[in-house]
Structure 1
Amino acid sequence: MTGIGEFNLKRNTSEDCCLDSDQGNVTLLLTGGGRLVLQSTDGEETSIIDTHEPITKASMFDSGNFLLYNSDQKIIWQSFRNPTNTILPGQSLLAGKELFSSVSETNQSTGIFRLKMQNDGNLVQYPKDTPDEAAYSYYSSFTDKRGENVSLNLDVDGHLYLVNSTGFVIKDLTPGGYSIEGTIYLMKIDTDGIFRLYSFKLNQNSSVSIVWASSVDKCSSKGLCGLNRYCVKNDRDIYGQCLPGFLVSGEGGCQKNFSTENCESKDGNIKYTIDRVANTTWEDASYSILSLPTEEECENACLEDCSCEAAMFKDGECRKQKLPLRFGIKLESESNLALIKVGVSNFAEIEFTIIKGFQVKFN
């Protein structure tokens, strides 16, 4: 592979070679021992790439591919085969590989969503740390069994597509044919769990545009609002709403705002009430399913069961749940009724506050 303006980072047999950051607080270091590390100003080193043999050279190409070589000048690692959250033109997401969203635009640690090019030929999105099962997916290319070793590819003209091992394009995600003059395209899974094709204009303004997105529904990403919280659409914006009797926690979801020391008081009186959340969908993690004709009977069944912390009632079925509740979405077309067991004594009203365009709730 060649590249315009290729940059090489080499070392001598026993000497280190390095690149300093603009801020001067961290250095990319190729050590005399053949390790690629980040070195802080206090000398602490963090290995960023583990290879089976010493590295003698590192090269960065105009394509965006970063390559590491051994003493025989053979490639032993390349970034195009180890993507994180982005695919560049000429790069592929191979069968069995995944992209992961970042925590935020300023924190590039692994976030809560993943995009997997499955071995069955299907391109699927899931919340992180869930099985590769349809119940957990929130986007699919529906291309399973369309060929072996299917990969996701991006061309320089913005053509995003799936191709099998014979070279046959089994699905076009975008048509391509977009202008390439002074423009770079990239596909990225964003922090909200949606993957998008972006165009970057290489002009003075460096403008960025969204060319295509896997979904226009920002609530479609399962788990976006965290545990015990559900996503609500409000015109073009969305916000996360806690369950009744819950407050926003520091981890992004919501936690109880009432005591759960005992299920019943000493005189046998139940210390809970049921609050209803209509028109919402949740992960079905029920431990007991009852056939009950009315929601009132479902409420009583949950109140009388110390293990029941919530119940889902729909079409005569009462599904008892334990907390936390996950993947909540508010849908007016959904008839499911969530019945939430709330402590009577210290139930707190929860108000909404707008922070940077995202509506959250505080006591």
Structure 2
Amino acid sequence: MQFSMAVFLLHLIFLTTFLQSLAAQQTCDACGLNNVCSLNSNRRPTCECPKGFSLLHSNDPNGDCKPDFSPSCDEVYSKDQFDFNVLSDIDWPGGDYATTVPSNKEECKTSCLKDCFCAVAIYRSRQCWKKKLPLSDGRTDVTLNVTAFLKYRKGDRPPRCPPL
């Protein structure tokens, strides 16, 4: 009888975690492009532009965020012009245009740096997902266990908002 109760409790815990995750996903669809959603202590969504981005319309905190730099793939593209904001537990799921299996975070970051289309690289469990602008469905979740490398051009207007 104890074994059955233990199995039941494990299923209940799994179901509860799954439903909470699903609710967070649906709730966080409220944020615009390039924006990042997190749930506050009341489990209500809060949208915030990541470092290096600002609101397209300052009166719409849930709206789209625009880069504070000029993304470009012109012939003078040089990896020396760019650097990264490193963000923990933030992802923009979906929309990957390339996936690689690097041996470490540094290779993931370097792969994005060498690619003029790459706006952010997401590293998790020895895998790297590259994404280009615009980014959609951004979310913060401590269970993600990911590192995001958000690329910005050096020398452009410095990031205004603090990192998430």
Question: If the length of structure 1 is used for normalisation, what is the TM-score?
Answer: 0.34
Alignment partners' CA distance in 1, 2:116 and 2:91:
24
Please, what is the CA RMSD of the aligned residues?
2.5
Q: Of 119, 123, 137, which residue of structure 2 is paired with 1:313? A: 123
Identity of aligned residues (%): 25
| Contact 1:231/1:238 (<8 A) preserved | yes
Matched position secondary structure for 1:311: strand
- The residue aligned with 1:225 is 31
Choose between structure 1 and 2: higher helix proportion.
2
| 2:3 aligned residue | none
Compute the displacement of 1:271 (Å): 0.9
**Kept in 1: contact 2:50–2:161 (CA 8 A):** no
Tell me the distance in 1 between the aligned counterparts of 2:99 and 2:69. Answer: 26
- Max Rg structure: 1
For the residues of structure 1 that align with 2:74 and 2:83, how far apart are their CA atoms? 12
Partner of 1:194: none
Q: Which residue of structure 1 aligns with residue 110 of structure 2?
A: 300
Instruction: Spell out the pairing of 1:203-352 with structure 2 (5 A cutoff).
Output: 215=23, 217=24, 220-236=26-42, 237-250=44-57, 252-262=63-73, 265=76, 268=78, 270-346=80-156, 347-350=158-161
- Tell me the amino acid that sits aligned with residue 90 of structure 2: T
- d(CA) in 1 for partners of 2:79, 2:125: 30
| Cα displacement string for residues 60-82 of structure 1 (whole angstroms, at most 9, x for unaligned residues) | xxxxxxxxxxxxxxxxxxxxxxx
Where do residues 1-363 of structure 1 align in structure 2 (5 Å cutoff)? 215=23, 217=24, 220-236=26-42, 237-250=44-57, 252-262=63-73, 265=76, 268=78, 270-346=80-156, 347-350=158-161
Deviation at 1:277? 1.7
What 5-or-longer segments of structure 1 have no aligned partner? Answer: 1-137, 140-214, 353-363
- Tell me the CA shift for residue 315 of structure 1: 0.8
Partner of 1:184: none
- Seen in structure 2, the aligned counterparts of structure 1 residues 312 and 296 have a Cα distance that, compared at 3 Å, is same
Shift of 1:234: 2.6
Instruction: Report the alpha carbon displacement of residue 283 of structure 1 after superposing the two structures with TM.
Output: 2.3
Deviation at 1:326, TM superposition (A): 1.0
In 2, distance between residues paired with 1:243 and 1:295? 20
Shift of 1:293: 1.6
Q: How many residues align?
A: 137
**Stretches of structure 2 lacking an aligned partner (at least 5 in a row):** 1-20
| Higher fraction of strand | 1
What is the Cα deviation at residue 239 of structure 1? Answer: 1.8
User: Aligned partners of 1:322 and 1:262: how far apart in 2?
Assistant: 12
Deviations 1:22-65 (A, max 9, x none): xxxxxxxxxxxxxxxxxxxxxxxxxxxxxxxxxxxxxxxxxxxx
Q: TM-score, normalised by structure 2?
A: 0.72
Closer/same/farther in 2, CA of residues 288 and 300 from structure 1, 3 Å limit: same
Q: CA 1:257–1:338 in 2, change beyond 3 Å: closer, same or farther? A: same
Separation in 2 of the partners of 1:293 and 1:263?
Answer: 30
Letter in 1 for 2:151: K
**CA displacement at 1:339 relative to structure 2:** 1.4
Amino acid at match of 1:259: S
Distance of 2:119 and 2:29 partners within structure 1: 19
Instruction: Give the 3-state SS of the residue equivalent to 2:33 in structure 1.
Output: coil
Distance 1:247 1:264, change over 3 A: farther
Cα distance in structure 2, aligned partners of 1:238 and 1:285 = 22
Provide, for residues 84-121 of structure 1, a one-character-per-residue CA deviation record: whole Å limited to 9, x for no partner: xxxxxxxxxxxxxxxxxxxxxxxxxxxxxxxxxxxxxx
